[in-house]
Amino acid sequence: MTELLRGEIYFIKFPYTFDRRYPDGKSKFVLVLQEGEYFKDYDTVEVLLITSDAES
């Protein structure tokens, strides 16, 4: 698994959407909000959705 670093922007595929046009999910840009020693025991990462449209 890739280590996600705070402040980095990633293009991540979200497997679930409510849009019938994307039955297998949709890729979106996100900003990683957390990392570091405090979060090493967690198996989740908090991200902020930047845009839902890859062309943006």
Q: So what's the pLDDT on residue 44?
A: 75
- 35 is a domain residue: yes
Q: So what's the pLDDT on residue 20?
A: 84
Residue at 8: amino acid letter:
E
Measuring CA to CA, how many Å separate 24 from each of 3, 19, 54, 55, 56? Answer: 24, 10, 16, 19, 21
- 4 is a domain residue: no
Question: What is the count of structural domains for the chain?
Answer: 1
Q: So what's the pLDDT on residue 9?
A: 92
- 1 is a domain residue: no
Measuring CA to CA, how many Å separate 33 from each of 13, 15, 18, 47? Answer: 17, 20, 25, 5
Q: So what's the pLDDT on residue 2?
A: 67
- 41 is a domain residue: yes
> Does the pLDDT of residue 10 top 70, yes or no?
yes
Q: Write out pLDDT tens, residues 11-54.
A: 888 887 787 888 888 888 989 887 767 667 777 778 888 875 65
Q: For residue 41, give its domain range.
A: 9-51
- 2 is a domain residue: no
Kindly report the pTM of this predicted structure.
0.64
- 42 is a domain residue: yes
